[in-house]
Amino acid sequence: MPSAYLDHAATTPMRPEAVAAMLPFLTDRFGNPSGAHSVARAARLALDEARDTMAEALGAEPGQVVFTSGGTESDNLAIGGVHAAGGGVVVCSAAEHHAVLHAVGAAGGTVVGVFPDGTVDLDELATAVGPQTSLVSVMLANNEVGVVSPLAEVISLVRERSPGAVVHTDAVQAFSWLDVAALAAEADLVAVSGHKFGGPKGVGVLVVRDRVALRPILHGGGQERDRRSGTHNVAAIVAMAAAARATVAARDATVARVGALADRLRAGLVESVPGAVPTAGTATGVGGQPAETAPRIAGNCHLRFTGLEAEALLVLFDDAGVSASAGSACSSGATEASHVLRAMGWSASEVGASVRLSLGWCSTDDEIDHALAVIPKAAGRLREAAPGWG
């Protein structure tokens, strides 16, 4: 491990409870839960228990839980599945993850702008949503700047302007920090991903409420009540459920503890690095924030290092034992200029100077001490090499 792993929004280590829950299903309890014999039934039992756990954690009925291969598939199933079932126009915000944006693009949908804080522009949304709208997708918490959406307002706007439309929320980044069961209770579709909250990679859930007409995007054996075919990844599903249980049980304490660490990191960097500007919002989630800024999930610490190249900074950070990221990681490992920050109205140079330091359930004081010791030095070295900034 690096001395300070600050990229939990990209992926967070598995929780020990999840690893322990997973192991028997990689060895003795290897059955295919779709079968009828005792080995299959043992796997089925574990699958049913995991479904109950995920349903409770997400405020859904067990029959509304569809297991998927992760956040990307859940978002694609929500958007592509609703569009395939009923057509119409699908709508999302410009700050959505590519799993939503590209799925909306593939369905020929509409993208609406965001306010400077990264939340969806509700006036633009009101203009875009009408009787032709079949689905509106607005994320609960943003993966780059961590801002929390006013989902209740979005939902009431959609219900008023297009009663037949459904609302999907990508809660992939929210689940670690926010009570998704309560906040997304009125959403029709809710996506989460195991590896963002201490489960394994390659597993997730899409909650599909009963009123949603959905066509599968994967065809085959008819698992998940015909909504998602494919042999269940039982080990990963069981581990995700264990991680979800641990996350919910510790959530309030984690938000308080890690939120304080993120606050300390942000304040320390602003104080010690000339030109470091925090991205708007407060760190400690919902509550206590100035009215003009939107709330932000506790683990997010997003900053701009004015005049410095984030790409170069991240290399220096890595050399000094700090893992962080800029923009969003794409499959090649390179970083793309952030579409989120551009949508928020940032200039290309501001976008190129921004870094996301993201904390997680296992972040420690020592990691923050280390980051606060080495980041100012790295920024100083880069500033010397590029002294143009005034």
Q: What are phi and psi of 204, to 5 degrees?
A: -160, -175
Least separation in angstroms between residue 154's CB and ligand PLP is 16
Q: Is the dihedral of CA 311, 297, 105, 59 positive or negative?
A: positive
Q: Which stretch binds ligand PLP (CB under 6 A): 169-177, 244-252, 305-313, 367-375?
A: 169-177
In terms of Cα–Cα distance, which of 93, 313, 66 is closest to 189?
66
Stretch that binds ligand PLP, among 15-23, 66-74, 309-317, 332-340 (CB under 6 A): 66-74
Task: Specify the stretch interacting with ligand PLP by CB under 6 A; choose among 28-36, 43-51, 71-79, 339-347.
Answer: 71-79
Q: Which CB sits closer to ligand PLP, 201 or 264? A: 201
Decide: is 143 part of the binding site for ligand PLP (CB under 6 A): yes
Q: Does 245 bind ligand PLP (CB under 6 A)?
A: no
Q: Indicate which single residue of 172, 208, 297, 320 sits in contact with ligand PLP (rule: CB under 6 A).
A: 172
| Cβ(173)–Cβ(142) below 8 Å | yes
Q: How far is Cα 378 from Cα 272, in angstroms, rounded to an integer?
A: 12
The contact mask relative to ligand PLP for 3-42 (x = CB under 6 A, - = no) is ----------------------------------------
CA pair distance 90, 217, nearest whole angstrom: 16
Structure tokens, 126: 């009101």
Q: Which 3 state secondary structure label does DSSP give 58?
A: helix
Select the span of 44-52, 65-73, 86-94, 287-295 touching ligand PLP (CB under 6 A). Answer: 65-73
362 is catalytic: no
What whole-number distance in Å separates Cα of residue 199 and Cα of residue 18? 6
Query: Which three-class secondary structure state does DSSP give residue 219?
Result: coil
Site track 192-231 with ligand PLP (rule: CB under 6 A), x = hit: -x----------x---------------------------
Binding of residue 233 to ligand PLP (CB under 6 A): no
3-class SS string, 268-308? HHHHHCCCEEECCCECCCCCCCCCCCCEECCCEEEEEECCC
Shortest reach from residue 293's CB to ligand PLP, in Å: 20
The reply to whether 70 sits near ligand PLP by the rule CB under 6 A is yes
Q: Which of 92, 301, 330, 362 is catalytic?
A: 330
- The yes or no reply on residue 99 touching ligand PLP (CB under 6 A) is yes
Q: Is 72 near ligand PLP (CB under 6 A)? A: yes
Give the count of residues interacting with ligand PLP (CB under 6 A): 13
Residue 136 in tokens: 């509106």
In the list 173, 279, 300, 354, the residue contacting ligand PLP (rule: CB under 6 A) is 173
* Residue 70 vs 360, nearer CB to ligand PLP: 70
Q: CA-CA distance, 98 to 109, in Å (whole number)?
A: 14
Residue among 100 and 181 whose Cβ is closer to ligand PLP: 100
Coil, strand or helix at 125: helix
Q: Of the ranges 157-165, 170-178, 247-255, 376-384, which one interacts with ligand PLP (CB under 6 A)? A: 170-178
Looking at the Cβ atoms of 44 and 228, the one nearer to ligand PLP is 228
Q: Which DSSP letter does residue 69 get?
A: S
DSSP class per residue in 331-384: TTS-EEPPHHHHHTT--HHHHHTEEEEE--TT--HHHHHHHHHHHHHHHHHHHH
Kind and range of the H or E element at 18?
helix 16-26
- C-beta of 74 vs 223, nearer to ligand PLP: 74
| Residue 79 C-beta: closest distance to ligand PLP, Å | 12
**Burial of 219: CB neighbours in 10 Å, binned 0-12, 13-18, 19+:** exposed
Which residue, 149 or 162, is less far from ligand PLP as judged by CB?
Answer: 149
- Residue number of the CB closest to ligand PLP reads 71
Distances (CA, A) of 274 to 20, 31, 302, 347, 375: 45, 58, 16, 19, 12
Q: How many other C-beta atoms lie within 10 A of the C-beta of residue 213?
A: 13
Among 7, 17, 170, 188, binds ligand PLP (CB under 6 A): 170
Interacting residue ranges for ligand PLP, rule: CB under 6 A: 70-72, 75, 97, 99, 139, 143, 170, 172-173, 193, 204
Name the residues annotated as catalytic: 330
